[in-house]
């Protein structure tokens, strides 16, 4: 039995690992490569293996860098089962449709403006068909993936429905346990539970390493900082404009604002959620209270976490535009998370030049994005081809990261290692994936210092599970 590292090897995106046990083949994730457009388009179009060789797929969570190529496999003829948690399956319904929609739009744009004709990787109907092949499983229950392979999901604490996967592999007399971390979240994040390291031991661990070289600010600090920003901006009569990822971050913000209002820590000003995808994602969250963190008071005492008198979900573009003519302090949360597209652009064009306003940055901002230029406090921003002076305050909150930092990742691995290996000898072999080389090298060093056997595979590397 062996594993081949097909994607997210020496990089963060494109998560995909090929597991072979006997004559069976199972894919762990099949995510989209993201980054420079032309480069990632070529990588995404290359199938990890012929679809008729795949017996089953196990999906760790709904993020596009993990699930984004599933509709492509289905479009190419994959007919097998895609196993996921129930919440992941439901989030995929909106996220894969949205991804298909973006690709159709991109292809259309290139055809009209650059006379470049490309086929979208897949279409909305492929995303719909993918949904029919997904089977939702509860956490902590073993299920048969295919002959010789059974699996169990445990909470990864990263986004709603996210899971780490323990796989039991049988080939003849050989029995091995493989743990795939998925993306590991932070302890103390609102709504979702804390990560729970798999408890059955492992011969091999495939572990993410996104923040293998840094520590984050504490989550509780982020909440206090959010409260301070809202109070100060409201006192100036300004707006708080928040570019936010539609799935996950937006719901955490709604939740924290809900709690801050209840505790009287921020004034009662309207909160507008101006993103159709965020609105749809929020309804999926509301469908899955079974995976909420019952140790949080708001979860225990409130029947509807995301619906309270101050919060309003805008329906169409005219309602979105009408916000610009409204007076008085307010909070506007809109996609996209790096302010590259989406309705946040209209709010920034209108609001960035007003010194009473605050632009609140709550997520990672990649190079060459408008979000990054805001973080750098450029004096002039370019929005829809127009020059807009940046006079608004800019505040950055780091504590909301959905990924554990190096201390949290190491703690998770320590817990998995403490459970031993199935035959009681030695310790699990750790393979680091899902990280930039710099973060991976630093994290591998740190782990070796704690006595781990660690490797950082290159794309295409194949190793025997021993």
Query: Residue numbers of the site for Zn ion (CB under 5 A)?
Result: 63, 65, 183
Q: What is the C-alpha to C-alpha distance for residues 72 and 60, in angstroms, rounded to an integer? A: 18
Judged by DSSP in three states, 176 sits in strand
Q: What is the C-alpha to C-alpha distance for residues 415 and 406, in angstroms, rounded to an integer? A: 14
Least Å from the CB of residue 141 to Zn ion: 23
Question: Which CB, 1 or 246, lies closer to Zn ion?
Answer: 246
Least Å from the CB of residue 15 to Zn ion: 6
Q: Which residue has the tokens 């991109």?
A: 106
Judged by DSSP in three states, 170 sits in strand
Other CB atoms within 10 Å distance of the CB of residue 6: 23
Is the previous residue joined to 336 through a cis bond, with omega within 30 degrees of 0? Answer: yes
Cβ atoms 344, 286 nearer than 8 A = no
Query: What's the Rg (C-alpha) of the chain?
Result: 22
Cβ atoms 265, 272 nearer than 8 A = no
Judged by DSSP in three states, 29 sits in coil
**β-pairing, 271-273 with 174-180?**
unpaired
Question: Which CB, 210 or 320, lies closer to Zn ion?
Answer: 210
Q: Which residue has the tokens 């979900």?
A: 313
Least Å from the CB of residue 216 to Zn ion: 15
Give, in degrees to the nearest 5, the angle at Cα 27 between 148 and 99: 150
Of 317, 333, 300, the closest CA to residue 230 belongs to 333
* Token representation of residue 45: 């179009």
Cβ neighbors of 108 (< 8 A, separation 6 or more) are none
């Amino acid at each position: 039995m062996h594993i081949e590292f097909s994607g997210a090897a020496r990089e963060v995106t494109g998560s995909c690992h090929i597991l072979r046990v006997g004559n069976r083949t199972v894919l762990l994730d099949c995510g989209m490569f993201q980054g420079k457009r032309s480069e990632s388009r070529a990588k995404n179009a290359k199938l990890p293996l012929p679809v008729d060789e795949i017996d089953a797929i196990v999906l760790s969570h709904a993020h596009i860098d993990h699930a984004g190529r599933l509709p492509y496999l289905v479009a190419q003829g994959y007919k097998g089962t895609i196993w996921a948690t129930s919440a992941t399956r439901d989030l995929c319904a909106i996220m894969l449709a949205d991804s298909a929609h973006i690709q159709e739009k991109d292809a259309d744009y290139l055809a009209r403006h650059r006379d470049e004709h490309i086929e979208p990787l897949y279409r909305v109907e492929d995303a719909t068909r993918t949904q029919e092949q997904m089977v939702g499983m509860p956490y902590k229950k073993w299920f048969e993936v295919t002959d010789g392979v059974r699996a169990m999901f445990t909470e990864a604490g990263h986004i709603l429905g996210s899971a780490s996967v323990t796989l039991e592999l049988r080939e003849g007399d050989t029995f091995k346990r493989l743990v795939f971390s998925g993306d590991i979240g932070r302890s103390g994040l609102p709504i979702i539970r804390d990560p729970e390291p798999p408890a059955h031991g492992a011969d091999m661990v495939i572990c993410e390493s996104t923040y293998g070289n840094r520590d984050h600010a504490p989550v509780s600090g982020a909440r206090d900082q959010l409260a301070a920003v809202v109070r100060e901006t409201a006192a100036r009569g300004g707006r708080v404009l928040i570019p936010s990822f539609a799935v996950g971050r937006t719901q955490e913000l709604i939740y924290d604002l809900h709690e801050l209002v209840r505790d009287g820590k921020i004034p009662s000003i309207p909160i507008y959620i101006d993103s159709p995808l965020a609105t749809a994602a929020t309804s999926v969250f509301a469908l899955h209270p079974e995976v909420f963190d019952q140790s949080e008071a708001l979860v225990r005492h409130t029947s509807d976490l995301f619906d309270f008198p101050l919060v309003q979900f805008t329906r169409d573009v005219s309602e979105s535009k009408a916000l610009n003519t409204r007076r008085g302090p307010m909070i506007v949360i809109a996609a996209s998370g790096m302010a590259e597209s989406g309705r946040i652009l209209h709010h920034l064009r209108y609001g960035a030049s007003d010194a009473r306003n605050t632009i609140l940055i709550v997520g990672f901002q990649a190079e060459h994005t408008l979000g990054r230029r805001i973080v750098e406090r450029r004096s002039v921003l370019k929005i829809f081809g127009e020059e807009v002076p940046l006079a608004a305050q800019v505040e950055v909150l780091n504590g909301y990261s959905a990924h554990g930092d190096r201390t949290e990742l190491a703690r998770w691995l320590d817990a998995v290692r403490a459970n031993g290996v199935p035959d009681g000898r030695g310790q699990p072999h750790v393979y680091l994936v899902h990280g930039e080389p710099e973060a991976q090298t630093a994290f591998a060093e740190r782990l070796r210092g704690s006595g781990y056997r660690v490797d950082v595979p290159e794309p295409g590397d194949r190793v025997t599970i021993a």
